[in-house]
Every structure is written in structure tokens, then in C-alpha cells.
Structure 1
Amino acid sequence: MSASPVVGVLGLQGDSREHLRALSAAGADARLVRRPEELAAVHGLVLPGGESTVIDKLLRVFELRDPLVAAIAAGLPVYGSCAGMILLADRLLDGTADQQTLGGLDVTVRRNAFGRQVDSFETELELDGVTDRAWPARGPRGSEAPSGPVHAVFIRAPWVEDAGPGVQALGVVPSGPAAGRIVAVRAGNLLATSFHPEITGDTRVHRLFADVVRAA
């Protein structure tokens, strides 16, 4: 594969534009995906944050659900942030009665686990495979900030209640009432975070995913 993998961002609902910018900054050829033929043209896909129940319904309206389930089963690299984590989960707690997930990730995810919008918060996280990377900083071209914790923004976020044996926990909440809760996981070509790295300017999670896509 070329040095710039083609990575799609699901563009049905949610913060797709922010992911497009982060992927481009991470060296990917980033494109919106709204149709099955657009999905077929990418090497990897990001499922953005947003409202998981709305995205679930729109996937069916746009006839993307079945092709996407098949692509995930066939090994398509997929990264889900916040609502995207919910969509990738094999099992869901506190979903609506008719809510479906795409599955593929052997985890149980609790929707809105941290509470309502007013309970949104930010913290510093150590993430395996991420915090040891340097990331491009503002300033002269090519300048980089030191490696270190990821500034994580949680907005009506889920968490991973439990994970299967093939799932690696990349990061947990460091302190507070939710200390120890899993908020970042990886299983093969699938990556998911409870938080929103696309809105912080730190591209390291997107660079990690671009590397996953290249390797696949």
C-alpha cells in the first residue's frame, strides 16, 4: 500500500469533519463515506462520535449496514470513537430497545456510562502504543511535541464493561469515581476509544490507526 492509505470517515451523523482533518494531518487520504460504493473504495474506516441510535438507523436507510458488517468480518480496519465504540461492540448495555450494533469487537460497552452531557469531562490518559509517540505541534513545519499522556475529552461517553480474551485494553481512567474503567481497546484491525481525540489537535490516535491500515 502507498504511504497515504485511503481512510474513510462515516459521514451520516456526528463529527466526521473533525476526523477528516485529523486523518489528513496523520498522513492519510481521508474521504467521507455515505454510500456502499464509497465504502468499497477505502482501506480503513472511522466511525465518528455522535448519537449512536441515529447512526444505527441511518446505516440502514443508506443501505450501509450489511456491507459494513461484511467488511468488518472480512478484516477491514475500523476505528470507532465514542458512538463509534458503541457501534463496534458485540454487546451493548443501556441501549434503546431497537438499537443494533455492527459488532466485530468482543466487548460489552455501556452507553452513556459516565452520565449526561453535564457530566462530560477531560483528563490525561496513558495509552499503550500512543503515549510513547511524539506528535506534530503548532509551530514550524516538522516540529514535534514530546511524547506523553493523551488529553482525552469525554462527552456523554461509553466505557468498556468487559472485554474478551482477544481484546487489548489500551487505556483506563486514571482517577475519580470511574477509575480503572477501560476507555480504549484494540483487537487486531479494530480500534476504539470512549473519548474524542479528533477535537484536541493531537493526532497520535489517528496516526496509530493509519499505521493499522497500512499494515493491513
Structure 2
Amino acid sequence: MSVTIGILGKQKNQPPQDSSHQTRLQNLRLKRKITTVLVKTPEDLLRCDALVIPGGESTTIALLARLSGLLDPLKEFTQTKPVWGTCAGAILLSQSVTNAKKDGQELLGGVSVDIARNGWGSQVESFEAPLDVKGLHDSSTPFTGIFIRAPVVLGLAPDAPIQVIARLPPHLLPEPAENENDPRTIVALRQGLHLLTTFHPELTTDDRFHDYFARKCVFPTVPVS
């Protein structure tokens, strides 16, 4: 049985990160076929077994979702289906956000973290870093994390069933960390069906994070007919 993974649709004047996610998912060579669909309406979302929320501007994503009638369906979807948020998508998946814009930030929730927007500052502070990632194929080979106006995880809810998948070395943080367990070092984590990455795996040619999402989060929720 094929699996349909939606990618929340393109925003005006934003880079084509949603199509990059489509390319990575469609190029995976797995035992189960993956079909992708751009999600721009509630009807599109109904076709999906899982969803990827790409990068961009989190407040704009939320506003456009509300204007298209998608915000409430997205909140309902997040309660029962696998969702992966990258960068701005990670903000939308979070339980709370620090440094929100003046008018606030609508969230989908789903992941029990507090996160800060633009944790490293403006786009000129963008950077790349090799990441040791638990659970990927060939985990001995670092994954190149591309951080563009990336959010920073500030804290995890007590006793939340969160699995930390990847951390940055403390010296790469915008402000020094006292130890390697500082939550600000967390750049990838999983809670139940949900995956959160503060960087952009889709902007590399390395498809191991997309493989991880499909195998670990999506396939177990869709029975084989």
C-alpha cells in the first residue's frame, strides 16, 4: 500500500523548500511507495497520511493557513498523524514560542518544547555544521545541518516523552552553554509521531532524514493492505 505524505504548500516569495522536500521523499528507495502532495486546502490535507511543514516565515505560514481554512484542520491532523516541522515548521509544532512577533504566533502544538524564533539572528548568521544523528542509516557519517535564521530550543516540558536525535556542540551556540546538555544544543528531536528539526535537511542531497521520517514515524501508522 502506498503512503501519501503532504508538504504544506508554497508561500509567495519564499524559496521552494516544499518542492525540495517532495524531491527527497520521492527519491527514497524503500519497500513502500511514497506519494507526495502539496497541501493548500483542507481537501488536500484529507488525502494525507502524514505531513511536512517546511521552512519560511512561521507567522506567515500560520496566517495563510488560517486564510485558506487550513489552520483548524492542521491542528486536528497534528493530534493523530505524523508531522515533521523543519525550521519555521518546527516553531509551529512547538508548545510555546519565545520572541514571537508583536501580534503573537499561532501554533499547532504537538511537541512539548519552548522554542525561540531566529535564535542565531538574521540571515547573515546562517551557517552549516556536521551533526552526529542517532537512528539514521550510516549514523557514523555526520549529517550536514544547514541553519538559516534557525530557531533555538529553550526547554523541554518535564517528563515529556521526547527523544533527542541530534545536538550542536555547545561552542556553536550564539551564547555560550554551560554544558552539552543545555537544551539550546538540541537541533533534532522526536516526540511520538512528530519529528522536529531546527535546520533544513531538504537543502542537502542527503536524504537520510526523509528516510528516517518515513520509516520511523509514517510507515508504522499506515497498515499494509
Q: Which residue of 1 aligns with 2:214?
A: 210
Aligned-partner SS, 2:81: coil
Matched, 1:153 2:146: yes
Which residue, 3, 6, 14 being the options, matches 1:5?
Answer: 3
The percent identity for this pair of structures is 41
1:108 Cα offset (Å) = 0.4
Contact 2:132 2:141 (C-alpha < 8 Å) held by counterparts: yes
Segments of structure 1 that go 5 or more residues without pairing to the other structure are 135-145
Which residue, 112, 122, 125 being the options, matches 1:116?
Answer: 122
Q: Which residue of 1 aligns with 2:38?
A: 32
Contact 2:132 2:140 (C-alpha < 8 Å) held by counterparts: no
1:148 Cα offset (Å) = 1.0
Which letter does structure 2 place at the counterpart of 1:190? H
The 5-angstrom pairing of residues 1-216 of structure 1 reads 2=1, 4-13=2-11, 14=14, 15-27=17-29, 28-73=34-79, 75-98=80-103, 99-130=105-136, 133-134=137-138, 147-164=140-157, 165-178=160-173, 180=180, 181-211=185-215, 212-216=217-221
Describe the superposition over 1:106-151 as per-residue Cα deviations: whole angstroms up to 9, x where unpaired: 1001110111101000010011112xx14xxxxxxxxxxx851101
Contact 1:12 1:55 (C-alpha < 8 Å) held by counterparts: no
Give the paired residue count. Answer: 200
Q: CA RMSD in A?
A: 1.5
Contact 1:186 1:192 (C-alpha < 8 Å) held by counterparts: yes
Which letter does structure 2 place at the counterpart of 1:11? G
Aligned-partner SS, 1:186: strand
TM-score (norm 1): 0.88
1:175 Cα offset (Å) = 4.5
Contact 1:5 1:210 (C-alpha < 8 Å) held by counterparts: no
Q: Distance in 2 between matches of 1:200 and 1:186?
A: 21
1:11 Cα offset (Å) = 0.3
Q: Distance in 2 between matches of 1:104 and 1:12?
A: 22
Moved over 2 A (4+): none
1:97 Cα offset (Å) = 2.7
Structure 1 window deviating more from structure 2 (64-73 vs 14-23): it is 14-23
Contact 1:56 1:100 (C-alpha < 8 Å) held by counterparts: yes
Q: Distance in 2 between matches of 1:151 and 1:12?
A: 24
